[in-house]
Structure 1
Amino acid sequence: MKTRTKTKLALATASLIIGMTSGLSNAAEPLITGKVDCIAPAGPGGGWDFTCRSIGRLLNNFSHGDLTVQTLNMPGAGGGVGFAHMITKRSHDPKVLAAASTATTARLAQNQFPGMSSDMVRWVGAIGTDPGIIAVSKDSDIDSLATLITRLKNDPSSLTFAGASAIGGWDHLKILMTAHSAGLSDLKQIKYLSYNNGGSAVTQVVGGHIDVLVGVASSTKGFIESGDLKPLAVLGHDRLSPPLDSIPTSFELGLDVEASNWRGFYMPKEVPEEAYQWWVNNLKAASQTDEWKQTMVQNGLEPFSLFGEDFDQFVNKQVGSLATISKEIGIIK
């Protein structure tokens, strides 16, 4: 590869962040140029599609045409088709990424990708998150997460929870993780109703038809600001951005629960280490640009940055914890 090409893309990559340290210049070696596929393992318009297209557009702009990231929609098996494609067809290819989220780890934990596991790919980084949230209607007599937990301990079936995922899906798992962290053991008794989307679940709780909402910050923000929903906790380490920064986190309330829907990427297991580190460094750089921060604000996402080995360890720990919960409620054996 010509030195001129290396220099050009190194400068383009360095322009991702104004004022960053010289560590970014190392991200340009080895150089990855030309067409790159970002697999969105679902149809157009969903979260994985958004992740690929948003970061792809950002990297395209800053590489001045030397890097072209195209989104490759590959729906099927809840992300399993894309995961299998990465493992079986692109195992040594440094010019392919795939979008992932907490839905990916939940399905891996529940063996929904037969014969595949989280250690069969390399986890590159997380670039943002939609934090999980627990909320009740404004008229509910549940005034805190502690009150909710006390009621569940007295009678696990006394409350009904609403979410947008299926039974055993991510919204369902959020309340199970919370209850498990609080010391509840009979998780099967906790009642959960699944709705087609987050909006329907919110409407049922706001209307007083369902006791508790288990959702995400992006779809509840407007209802919290209007006073129709009363938030009990954000399920993670960090508080939400203003004006919702008064909501306590699960960790502040003494519960070890990280239940945000992170957005991130994985790539083939057998790529060279230099190529893996190139993507780690460049995605980290992209996640810190003003352009990406504005994209997060516009789409209701919060900062969540984990890269390289830190992200890999996070993913595998999450898969393990979700597998434990799933076994306890009988989803898997």
Structure 2
Amino acid sequence: MIQFDARPVFVAAVFAVAVGGFSTAALAFEPTNSECIAPANAGGGWDFTCRQVGKALYDLEIVPNPVQVTNMAGGGGGVAYAAVVNKRNDDNDLIVAASSATSTRLAQGAFPGNTMDQVRWLGTVGADYGVIAVAGDSDINSLTDLMDKIKSDPSSVSVAGGSAVGGWDHLKVLIAANAAGIDDVRTIKYVAFEGGGEAVTQLMGGHVQAFSGDISEAKGFVDSGDIKVLAVLAPDRLPGEFDKFPTAREQGIDAVGANWRGFYAPGGMSDDAYAFWAGAIADVYASDEWKAIMADNGLMPLDLSGDAFQAFVAEQVAKTEALSKEIGLIK
């Protein structure tokens, strides 16, 4: 069983940051017009990452001016990636929200002509465990109910996600389906949208029957009663107010999927600017303000910066490529 669990890297990551981490103090670079690109429409995980981290950067006085957030949807993040590589390669004021969806698309060659080495990977701000949910008024009440419905009539269930076909939201459904005993996961009907917010809107409108996303993007809709979480793809129940959500494992489906959240920067960014932004992200992560945001939104610890993060992304790309070949998404 191939699973994605961010926890084994915690100790190594903390050590790497402690030894080789960055500090924003005494650096030659200082940002002027800071910008964060969220490679999707408003309401999804990348938008959440840009807006929350951008606010923290300004509130903590790490940057002198508010961070402009630009939504650049398209191609499961590919439009933004290409724009950064081809048009803004030397922009020292630019950071871009990224996640497991980004490394997944890179692993599958879904950003034509682009590779992970064309940008500089800054750091993470936590891990966001996957969820599978349905509308609040759905008669489906467990992950096993959903999987049984798919087994009996695959055409009766469409699952929406905020990544492209073959992307991370899609892969989470396939991992769960495989663990539930569905031999041919290609029978799963997955509908791709530009961001988790749009996918949830389609779920609430009755256009699809289930949603694959992450706990941070689902939380607001759960609080409003619009959706209900069938399962969290975590090894154990999440802490605090999230402990009410059952895991897939509790329901006899051994599926785990952790979505890292972080940032990359243009490949031509100067070393001073890169050191500043890697340090800035690390400083936000270490702050009490960010700890509160993590607790409120179900983010779990994952602290990677600089070279340690670069190595982590390379590993994720290799693992995702292997999984994608296994289930026939790529050759």
Pair in the same fold by TM > 0.5: yes
Superposed counterparts of 1:178-327, under 5 Å: 178-180=176-178, 185-193=183-191, 196-201=198-203, 204=206, 210=209, 213-218=211-216, 220-221=218-219, 231-237=229-235, 239-250=237-248, 255=254, 257-260=256-259, 262-271=260-269, 275-296=273-294, 300-308=297-305, 309-327=307-325
Match of 1:71 in 2: 68
CA offset at residue 213 of structure 1?
4.3
Per-residue CA deviations over 1:96-120 (Å, capped at 9, x if unaligned) read 3222233323332332321101222
% same residue: 38
| TM-score in terms of structure 2 length | 0.68
CA offset at residue 266 of structure 1?
0.4
1:111–1:246 CA distance, 2 compared to 1 (3 A): same
Aligned mates of 2:269, 2:289 — CA distance in 1: 29
1:76–1:228 CA distance, 2 compared to 1 (3 A): closer
Q: Secondary structure at the match of 1:105?
A: helix
Aligned mates of 1:22, 1:332 — CA distance in 2: 38
Q: What amino acid sits opposite 2:263 in the alignment?
A: F
1:150–1:75 CA distance, 2 compared to 1 (3 A): closer
Once the two structures are overlaid, the 10-residue window that deviates more, 238-247 or 270-279, is 270-279
Q: What amino acid sits opposite 1:289 in the alignment?
A: S
| TM-score in terms of structure 1 length | 0.68
CA offset at residue 259 of structure 1?
4.2
Q: Secondary structure at the match of 1:197?
A: helix
Superposed counterparts of 1:70-219, under 5 Å: 70-71=67-68, 73=70, 75=72, 77-78=74-75, 79-91=77-89, 94-135=92-133, 157=154, 160-165=157-162, 167-180=165-178, 185-193=183-191, 196-201=198-203, 204=206, 210=209, 213-218=211-216
Contact 1:137 1:230 in 2 (8 A): yes
Structure 1: 5+ residue runs without aligned partners? 1-20
Aligned mates of 2:213, 2:51 — CA distance in 1: 24
CA offset at residue 175 of structure 1?
0.9
Contact 1:108 1:118 in 2 (8 A): yes
Aligned mates of 1:74, 1:138 — CA distance in 2: 28
Match of 2:35 in 1: 38
Contact 2:24 2:276 in 1 (8 A): yes
Are 1:54 and 2:52 matched, yes or no? yes
Q: What amino acid sits opposite 1:197 in the alignment?
A: A
CA offset at residue 225 of structure 1?
7.1
Contact 1:40 1:52 in 2 (8 A): yes
1:155–1:259 CA distance, 2 compared to 1 (3 A): farther
Q: How many residues align?
A: 305
Q: CA RMSD in A?
A: 4.4
Q: What amino acid sits opposite 2:282 in the alignment?
A: K
1:143–1:197 CA distance, 2 compared to 1 (3 A): closer
Per-residue CA deviations over 1:150-204 (Å, capped at 9, x if unaligned) read 887x769487352244544443321112234567552212334567521432564
Q: Secondary structure at the match of 1:106?
A: helix
Q: What amino acid sits opposite 1:32 in the alignment?
A: F
Structure 2: 5+ residue runs without aligned partners? 1-17
Contact 2:22 2:276 in 1 (8 A): no
1:255–1:97 CA distance, 2 compared to 1 (3 A): same
Contact 1:128 1:264 in 2 (8 A): yes
1:40–1:222 CA distance, 2 compared to 1 (3 A): closer
CA offset at residue 51 of structure 1?
3.0
Aligned mates of 2:82, 2:192 — CA distance in 1: 28
